[in-house]
Structure 1
Amino acid sequence: MAGQISRSQPTKLLEYDLLLLELFANGAKVGDVVKELNYGASRQVIAAFPSAEAPRARITTLLRTHVLIPCQDGSSQSIESEQPVQRLQDCTRPMALNPACRLRIGANIALQPDGSAFRVWSAENRRYINLDLRLQLLLFSFRKETPVSRVLEEKGPLAGEDDCGKGIQWLYDLGLLYSIEDRPQMLVKKPAQDKPSESGFALRGSGPRWQDLEPDGRIPVYFTPHMENHYPLALGMIAAAIADFNEGELLKKFQLLPISFLTPQQLIDGPHRKFGPGIWLFSNYMWSLDVNLQISAMLKARDHNSLTLHGGPSTPGYPGACAEFMGKNPSVDIAVHGEGEVSVVEILQCIERGPDGRLHYDVERLKKVTGLTFRDTGQTGLPLVTTEKRTRLKEPDSVPSPYLTGVFDSYDGRVEAAIIESNRGCPFGCTFCDWGSATRQKVRKIGLDRVKQEIDWIGRNRVRVIWIADANFGMYDRDIELSEFIVETKQKYGFPQEVVVNYTKNTTRRLLEIIKALSAGGIISQGIISIQTTDPATLEVINRRNIKTEKYDELTQVFADSNLPLSTDLMTGLPGITPEAFDRDLQRYFDSDVTTKAYPTQLLPNSPMADPEYMEKYKIRVDKDGFVISCHSFNEAEMAGMNAIYGFFTVADGYSVLRYVLRYLQWEHGIPALEYLHHLLDETNSHPDKYPLITWVARTFMLAKFMPGGWKAFYDQVAAFTQDRYQIERDQAFDTVLLVNELAMPDDSLRYPLRRDLPHDFVAWFEDHAPRGASQVKRLGTYPPGVFEVDDPHSMSSIDMDYIQYDSHQLFWELRSSIARPASVSDVKELAQRRLAG
């Protein structure tokens, strides 16, 4: 790719662009460039343009995308480079690489104009080198992993295979190319395999598929999972409840089709075409609502005889909201509010098939089923009927487990995760939350033996991730026992390898014991502080006063002392928050060195925050997707500003791009991290070209985690900004900090472990600052020389970050060192190898 770092979308670079740019850099005019490209000697080594007019069109494209810029005075005089140019014929070491080995250019490698030449940064040798056109072409040949032998054959006309081999060896020795065979391969997306377990997915069960069954005169019941990668627990529980009712009484009338993931069109063209009109069950969540309504609408457009039941947390329960929901979605026949296991069983008892094959429900009987809104097909003249509120199940495990009763044995799909419950309910009443409409409810436990059997099933079926769907895991001592049993299960089967949980509030001891057990057992997991905010005014508005923030401070200290991973959850857009209060939250957890994740506040249909009176009181406005965009305490512009500073904070501290720079400036120069980040972000917005690499990081890093031209240049610009803004000179102490932060960044052009000498002992200085309240720490410049060592045991420099974990609370990026944050990534490399093997 080619372009200006601080500008918009780059342009895909073609091989002949290298010659074109080289000619312009050396002062050639447009006419001379076109002539050389069409008729010059370069046609022997570079693919020709398809027509004589193509070079001019290409130049126009590069001008439009700012790869080329016109000279101000119309001249084309070149500027000589201050450094000599490395030529292909100057490479003298014979090629020692195996011709069959595959090489690839490092992700951070970029050619940068340097007068009349193009230079590249070698992180291995820590110097810039100007390359001649032939070396540029060789380097460009390995933009994708390519065997050396192929490049030798294709580029032999450059100077002969022998000289090309020497050039490739020289590029490799400098770290500009690396061998795929010598490094862990990049973790890539692969299609489904015949044996999913070998590519990181669960074993496929032995139950019948829908293709194996035939219509038998019973009314078919369709289940509609919305995501392929996990077993749909809610639908599975309903299926188990239907099958279990009165020893299978409902199975005499209803044919339960196997639960399996299919796309909307596959559902219509497959099971529906085969089995015909039936009962369709949808479990609506924020992430599944749109696709469920799409399937429902597609169905009703083809089949008016089927009935659709929509439940789940995103099916509105407030009367006005539910009426609007059903008015906008005529494909919804019945809305189920609250727990659905008993509701659906009772609904099915009210449904019959008429002589014409049409399914219908008995309105009068259905009115006696609590927790519903349905369309009135009787003679009352009212479009909708809403029944009394349903009371909750006293014993959730009165419904059989879908795992243990074979419900998921027929599931087809690339499964990564399984959801389980060990209890239901939440004693807290946070206004933004709707835990299955179970807030401010007594917590009801599910039998310990049953939960352990489900965990064993998950491990035996090689499911990688367990998602524990409790509102407050860690509330009871038995949760420690469950954590230990998960570790035992992994030791027995090799699975599960990751645990995703929602940890309890107001506790420390149990959470610590849980994370200790999981970490010691090689399970990817970490402590999570669900703080949302520490701002007193906001806590009052969201009814979170009974959650003690001092408990979280205690927990932070305990995890730090135990060297265990910890993160905190904040929320942007909470009613009552202000930009200043949000900054204080970020600064608080920066000071505690706790990874921070912030989630936008979305109006859940059944949460207290969605109550019309609450919305009116706090002037809450939402966008089309239900995300809060303004309220009484902030406007839309301030909301955008909070999102922007959080995004930059995530890059700077979460991914550690400025982790050590920020702490040095705060500890030694009294510049709060949030103040510095605001100034830096303002600079990239007002003058994007002044520090282009900083602008790149602010705008692009979250999408493309690499640094064009290498990290050294980025930190040079950070130093320049700091001097311009704060008049802080770049002395040996600051140089030490910049080098440490640079070395902490993964770089696939380097070989790890890596050790560098430092002007000052940064590790000792950092560790002296680590204890909270440390106030008598000497300045970094007074420390003697030291060393800094980094390692990459989990292949962070070459693994696709999107595939390391199911849950994203931990931000895997900074290389391992004695002062890096603790991270639970025990089996990342194993996971990468297994996926690649698949």
Structure 2
Amino acid sequence: MPPIQKLTVQLVQQGVWDMPLESMPLASGYLKAMILDDSSLADRVSVSIANFRGKVTHGEMARELLAKELPDVLAFSVLGWNVRAFGALAATYKQLRPDGWVVFGGTHVSNQADRVFREYPDVDVVVNGEGEITFRELVRARADGRSRTGLADIEGISYRSEEGTTTTTADRPRIDDLDLIPSPFLTGAIELLDEEGKFRYDVALIETNRGCPYKCAFCYWGGAVGQRVRAFSRERLRAEMELFAGLGVHTLVACDANFGMLPIDQEFVDDLIDIRERFGYPRAFETSWAKNKSKVFFEIVRRMKEAGLRSSFTLALQTLSTDALDTMNRRNMKVNAWRDLVEWLGKEGLDCYAELIWGAPGETVQSFLDGYDELAEHVSRIAVYPIMLLPNTDYSENKELHGIVSLRGDHDDFEYVLAHRTMSFHDNARMQRFLFWARVMAENAVLRHCWLPLRVLAGWRQSRVLDSLADWADTTSCPQAAPLREAAARAHGGGAPAYANAIGYLFTDPAGREALRTWWAEAVSPALPEAHRPFLDEVFRYDLLTQPVCPANGTGRPPGGDTDFPDPQELPGGDLYVRRNVPLDYDVPTLLAAMRAGGHVHPKPGPVELDVFYRTGALNAVLSTNHEEIMHFMGEEQPAARRTVAAVATG
């Protein structure tokens, strides 16, 4: 095959959620930057990125990718939610361009070539491990006119031999000096602005390091589990942050496995704070925090608090069951000593949430619910996920050892665990219902204030509240509950859209809020102690009051005829919605703060008026069910704007 004069490369990504804003195509940006930085390729190769939202159909993607000049190389960043779509697109592409190359890369297909080639016969090459250098060599081979069956000298790939069998080359060593990968932001490889000159993505993604020293049985983080952590340089990261700050990016997300573990992480935060002080942005920083909290972590948290830089601090516990911790290979991790950390974060007034996984071998229904409620006494916002078997993980490779029975998802390619030696099919079905309501109501903070007073004053554990809502939704004739009941029924077996539909309904549709009011009035309030019922009813009203404001149909105004909301106002904190002079029968914020501090509270009526402020632009976070981002849009009472009615009346 003769060399190609001008090679065309099309990179393809697709996010899992359907959102008004795109998810940043970081993986494709790395690949594009790597190719264009190579002097032997830059003049011979044209590279473009197609970045699709979650609900885009196969046909819509095919029209964008294939209705113009067909690329010489079509490369997909593959994950469990898009592999089927990308396999279909590969088949269509090969009908139109039989001599073209289809390349699959990503954690879902890495080291899985036999299955990939069997199920998607139009794929030519699978990239195993880190892809930047490997993909550059593949593009060079294609530009030089080499055959796709003669790639034995390229490390880190699997391809079809001339006989049709799978050939896998030697593993490629991981990249020690990450700065060898050009920045996709500083080089312009990723387009950052939309047609109106605004930052086009929901958040800015950045990597400060790669690698994870742990070997959790359920995880394959970037294909780098059990690996030494390697970092990008401080100078490069600072330049990237300054670029984002200049574009007014609100939230920066570090795609690291254990941020806050290394001294260089403290340097990163120092730079971030300095940049925020100079530019006013970013205003929030999210990441996957280090599992074992060190002095570095506590110093980072202290500095972020002093600077007013917001974040959600994660307790990646996954389970409180000692038997399940054993099978997870997490028994001896310091993260399990979590209570002191939660207490410290609470005293500092910092937002903290925890992660749990339901259905790990060794877990039972009782152990999970006991752990959930124990954790909820300290952290009300708990992210709960069903166990899935990801490729290349210990659980996936040892199914028989644990007696695991699994099923591929309806809308994705993940393996969902249905049963094992300590979990029956019946157990799992029961808990899938619980997980739906836990994820919707607690993880995504549809309710966030009422959990504590319900437990302290009424003796309702968090799981009881969630079961109450589930039972009511299953049996009520209330028409506003029907969308929730339907979403819960669709949530089993890979029902990510069902969760998004329920959360969107409760946050954006007045009928969703009316469903919650009806549930509370019919199933909760009558069962509360009479002495505390008025206060608990008011806390519930305060919960609904402080939910994010999501305008209807992009009008800029809230849904449901909430005429007491003005248009967004330009205030020192940015464009905000303001609800002024809101009357409450109890001083709910003060009483809740006293309860969180461990005080013995006996609520007495005391009317107050509040001004509540809401950041605009919540819809994207809500529709993506990004619970860390949702928290940045919650209504906040400003202490300076607060007035006690009785005090004003008496002078």
What TM-score comes out, normalization by structure 1 length? 0.61
Which range is displaced more, 331-340 or 733-742?
Answer: 733-742
Structure-2 residue corresponding to 1:339: 130
Q: Is the 8 A contact 2:455 2:462 kept in 1?
A: yes
Q: Is the 8 A contact 2:380 2:451 kept in 1?
A: no
The reply on whether 1:564 has 2:350 as its aligned counterpart is yes
Structure-1 residue corresponding to 2:581: 753
Q: AA paired with 1:236?
A: G
SS in 2 for 1:310: strand
Q: Tell me by how many angstroms 1:524 deviates.
A: 4.8
Aligned CA distance change for structure 1 residues 432 and 457 (closer, same or farther; 3 Å): same
CA distance, structure 2, for counterparts of residue 521 and residue 284 of structure 1: 38
Q: Report sequence identity in percent.
A: 22
Question: Mapping of 1:123-272 within 5 angstroms?
Answer: 217-227=5-15, 229-245=22-38, 248-251=39-42, 254-261=44-51
The reply on whether 1:478 has 2:264 as its aligned counterpart is yes
Q: AA paired with 1:566?
A: C
Q: Aligned pair count?
A: 572
Structure-2 residue corresponding to 1:667: 456
Q: Is the 8 A contact 2:215 2:225 kept in 1?
A: yes
The reply on whether 1:323 has 2:109 as its aligned counterpart is no
CA distance, structure 1, for counterparts of residue 479 and residue 536 of structure 2: 21
Q: AA paired with 2:11?
A: F
Q: AA paired with 2:209?
A: N
Aligned CA distance change for structure 1 residues 412 and 718 (closer, same or farther; 3 Å): closer
Q: Tell me by how many angstroms 1:562 deviates.
A: 0.8
Q: AA paired with 1:408?
A: I
**CA displacement 1:496-535 (0-9 Å, x = unmatched):** 3443311111115444444455566565522122221121
The reply on whether 1:361 has 2:148 as its aligned counterpart is yes
Structure-2 residue corresponding to 1:793: 613
Q: Is the 8 A contact 1:516 1:564 kept in 2?
A: no
CA distance, structure 2, for counterparts of residue 268 and residue 680 of structure 1: 42
Cα RMSD after superposing both structures: 3.8
The reply on whether 1:639 has 2:436 as its aligned counterpart is no
SS in 2 for 1:575: coil
Aligned CA distance change for structure 1 residues 294 and 446 (closer, same or farther; 3 Å): same
CA distance, structure 1, for counterparts of residue 441 and residue 626 of structure 2: 21
Q: Is the 8 A contact 1:559 1:565 kept in 2?
A: yes
CA distance, structure 2, for counterparts of residue 766 and residue 273 of structure 1: 58
Structure-2 residue corresponding to 1:740: 539
Structure-1 residue corresponding to 2:321: 535
CA distance, structure 1, for counterparts of residue 517 and residue 166 of structure 2: 66
Q: AA paired with 1:224?
A: V
Structure-2 residue corresponding to 1:283: 77
CA distance, structure 1, for counterparts of residue 246 and residue 460 of structure 2: 53
Q: Among residues 301, 314, 321, which one is paired with 2:108 in the alignment?
A: 314
Which range is displaced more, 653-662 or 624-633?
Answer: 653-662
Which range is displaced more, 524-533 or 216-225?
Answer: 216-225
Q: AA paired with 2:402?
A: K
Question: Mapping of 1:538-687 within 5 angstroms?
Answer: 538-611=324-397, 613-614=398-399, 616-624=401-409, 625=412, 626=414, 627-650=416-439, 653=442, 662-668=451-457, 670-675=459-464, 677-678=466-467, 681-682=470-471, 684-685=473-474, 687=475
Aligned CA distance change for structure 1 residues 763 and 455 (closer, same or farther; 3 Å): closer
Q: Is the 8 A contact 1:278 1:307 kept in 2?
A: yes
Q: Among residues 808, 813, 838, which one is paired with 2:627 in the alignment?
A: 808
SS in 2 for 1:755: strand
CA distance, structure 2, for counterparts of residue 270 and residue 653 of structure 1: 39
**CA displacement 1:59-89 (0-9 Å, x = unmatched):** xxxxxxxxxxxxxxxxxxxxxxxxxxxxxxx
Q: Tell me by how many angstroms 1:698 deviates.
A: 7.4
Q: Tell me by how many angstroms 1:307 deviates.
A: 0.8
Aligned CA distance change for structure 1 residues 730 and 417 (closer, same or farther; 3 Å): closer
Q: Tell me by how many angstroms 1:592 deviates.
A: 0.5
SS in 1 for 2:314: strand
Relative contact order (C-alpha < 8 Å, sep 6+): which is higher?
1
CA distance, structure 1, for counterparts of residue 625 and residue 296 of structure 2: 23
Q: Tell me by how many angstroms 1:598 deviates.
A: 1.4
Q: Is the 8 A contact 2:29 2:189 kept in 1?
A: yes
Q: AA paired with 1:793?
A: F
Question: Mapping of 1:480-499 within 5 angstroms?
Answer: 480-499=266-285
Q: Tell me by how many angstroms 1:556 deviates.
A: 0.9
Aligned CA distance change for structure 1 residues 411 and 697 (closer, same or farther; 3 Å): closer
**CA displacement 1:197-256 (0-9 Å, x = unmatched):** xxxxxxxxxxxxxxxxxx9822222222335724422222223333444xx12346x413
What TM-score comes out, normalization by structure 2 length? 0.77
Aligned CA distance change for structure 1 residues 596 and 710 (closer, same or farther; 3 Å): closer
SS in 2 for 1:606: coil
Q: Among residues 86, 96, 104, which one is paired with 1:302 in the alignment?
A: 96
CA distance, structure 2, for counterparts of residue 398 and residue 799 of structure 1: 37
Larger radius of gyration: 1
